[in-house]
Structure 1
Amino acid sequence: MIEDDGPSDSGRDGAAEEQRRIADELTGAIRGVPLEELPSRLCEVCLRLLPVTGMSLSVQAAGPGMEALLCASDKVAAQLAEIQYTLGEGPRLQAHTLHAPVFAADLLRGPEVRRWPVFAAQAVRAGAQAVFSLPLGSPVAPLGTMDLYRRAPGSLSSRDVRVALLTADAVNTAIGTLDGRTQDPDKVVAWLEGAEADRDEVHQAIGMIMVRLSVDAEEALARLRARAFVEGRTATEVARAVVNRTLDITDHD
């Protein structure tokens, strides 16, 4: 009987070579690039590596339920991130919570339609019929997610999944070495603050709702999301209206 000793040396060598290739391409593309241009460059090189229509990178921002969009390859990718933020549901949020890849291969007829009916309908309307989310960081220090979409439904092949996982690992390394060339997550705070600034209006609106209704931050965010859902607007749009005092969220919301 011939025992299976696991992957052959050539298989392991090939996987290691692919990992080095992806890491080298990503780190080479961002080397020497000014900090303010790094998010768009990261998206650009990731999209070259991955067999998808578009992608985005989101990071965990300060405050409960707060995420910030670091970069998006196109309007659809940005809209998918905003839809999930507004609804408080979807593969991106689940991947971040579970710290595991979450794949929604068919938003028209797959089980994802039952799991996230509202998100699935809005994602298809936005132009995506398959969405794949992979966590960034580690279970102890989650950073955010890498989110991919395709215009047509369909699963990723085993090789595509491997490339996506290797790319997510390379993104982790790239982000961890951007500021001061260190893997310490605390050292990248200054760089990530630019992405978090996009949620400033949401932070302000949550604070105003907390004072107005005497509720905590999680409840204030839930009220803001509920109002956005009812009015068919994004959470950011409703937050902007609250900050500008053209909308008052009351106990009835």
Structure 2
Amino acid sequence: MLIDAVRGVPPLSVPKALCRACVSLLPGVSGLSLSVLGREPGTGVVLFASDDVAGQLAEIQYTLGEGPCTEATRLLAPVFAPDLTWAPDARRWPLFALQAAKTGAEAVFSLPLTAAAGALGTLDLYQERAGTLDDGQVRTALLVADALSLAVTALDETSSDSDGVVAWLQGAESDRVEVHQATGMIMVHLGVSAQEALLRLRARAFAQGSTSLAIARAIIDGSTDIGHE
């Protein structure tokens, strides 16, 4: 189904086509997203999201540096949080659990996309209400994650540009370019390392109830002052 979904589709339309196919294969969940890891630790690209909530959940985990997807890539194994409103899930990721509930998700399930070299990214599912996935949903989600792993690996290997970013990733990558640019501005202005600059950007995003991307854009256009970071 995934192959059929992208056959003959223009490169920049591939993410949307894959997203629609994944949604059709997993109709029992409220929404889903696919994130691909960036080259630097703690960075990533949200390749597609079925709705605003799914996209925000991915961005929140990127901003906070915690959540099921972080654990899934570290462990190279599925990580399920069936009830973020209650322990142990709420205690495991207290900041993410709080923000996820505000966004409208009480359960999140993350499956790693893997290759020989390690994690490529994650397929993240969410449900508006707390609850587990049934056996059929788990089996299908695992198969979808495996198929997406092959797709991302195959397409990345056919890339001809120096950064290894295929055409259908470039639109999503542009968002992270803004984060990298803002991080660089913080580094130069404050004389700190790239890692510390990214942590400062994330901290401001969390303190303001915003996202890393929104804060990065504000830094770039000069609407927020980084002099007192």
What TM-score comes out, normalization by structure 1 length?
0.82
Equivalent-residue separation in structure 2 for 1:38 and 1:240 (angstroms): 26
Amino acid corresponding to residue 243 of structure 1 in structure 2:
I
Structure 1 residue 187: Cα displacement: 6.3
Equivalent-residue separation in structure 2 for 1:99 and 1:52 (angstroms): 22
Equivalent-residue separation in structure 2 for 1:160 and 1:45 (angstroms): 15
1:46 is matched with 22
Q: How does 1:39-118 map to 2 (within 5 A)?
A: 39-50=15-26, 51-118=28-95
2:148 is matched with 171
Q: Which of these residues, 168, 176, 181, is aligned with residue 191 of structure 1? A: 168
Amino acid corresponding to residue 115 of structure 1 in structure 2:
R
Describe the superposition over 1:190-226 as per-residue Cα deviations: whole angstroms up to 9, x where unpaired. 4323321111211111001111121111111001011
Structure 1 residue 188: Cα displacement: 5.6
1:143 is matched with 120
Query: Which has more radius of gyration?
Result: 1
Percent identity over the alignment is: 56
Equivalent-residue separation in structure 2 for 1:222 and 1:105 (angstroms): 28
Equivalent-residue separation in structure 1 for 2:198 and 2:74 (angstroms): 17
- When residues 157 and 230 of structure 1 are mapped into structure 2, their CA distance, relative to the original with a 3 A threshold, is same
The answer to whether residue 8 in structure 2 is matched with residue 27 in structure 1 is: no
Structure 1 residue 180: Cα displacement: 7.7
Equivalent-residue separation in structure 1 for 2:63 and 2:6 (angstroms): 31
**Partner of 1:46: helix, strand, or coil?**
helix
Equivalent-residue separation in structure 2 for 1:188 and 1:247 (angstroms): 30
Q: Bigger shift: 92-101 or 163-172?
A: 92-101
Q: Which of these residues, 120, 124, 145, is aligned with residue 97 of structure 2? A: 120
**Partner of 2:71: helix, strand, or coil?**
helix
What TM-score comes out, normalization by structure 2 length?
0.91
1:152 is matched with 129
Please say if residues 115 and 153 of structure 2, whose CA atoms lie closer than 8 Å, have aligned partners that are also in contact: no
The answer to whether residue 180 in structure 2 is matched with residue 203 in structure 1 is: yes
Equivalent-residue separation in structure 2 for 1:117 and 1:187 (angstroms): 35
Equivalent-residue separation in structure 2 for 1:165 and 1:101 (angstroms): 9
Give RMSD over aligned pairs: 2.0
Please say if residues 113 and 146 of structure 2, whose CA atoms lie closer than 8 Å, have aligned partners that are also in contact: yes
Q: Bigger shift: 117-126 or 201-210?
A: 117-126
- When residues 137 and 189 of structure 1 are mapped into structure 2, their CA distance, relative to the original with a 3 A threshold, is farther
Please say if residues 59 and 145 of structure 1, whose CA atoms lie closer than 8 Å, have aligned partners that are also in contact: yes
Equivalent-residue separation in structure 1 for 2:98 and 2:21 (angstroms): 29
Equivalent-residue separation in structure 2 for 1:106 and 1:40 (angstroms): 29
Structure 1 residue 97: Cα displacement: 2.0
Equivalent-residue separation in structure 1 for 2:116 and 2:211 (angstroms): 29
Please say if residues 58 and 67 of structure 1, whose CA atoms lie closer than 8 Å, have aligned partners that are also in contact: yes
Structure 1 residue 139: Cα displacement: 5.7
Q: How does 1:208-227 map to 2 (within 5 A)?
A: 208-227=185-204
**Partner of 1:206: helix, strand, or coil?**
helix
**Partner of 2:22: helix, strand, or coil?**
helix
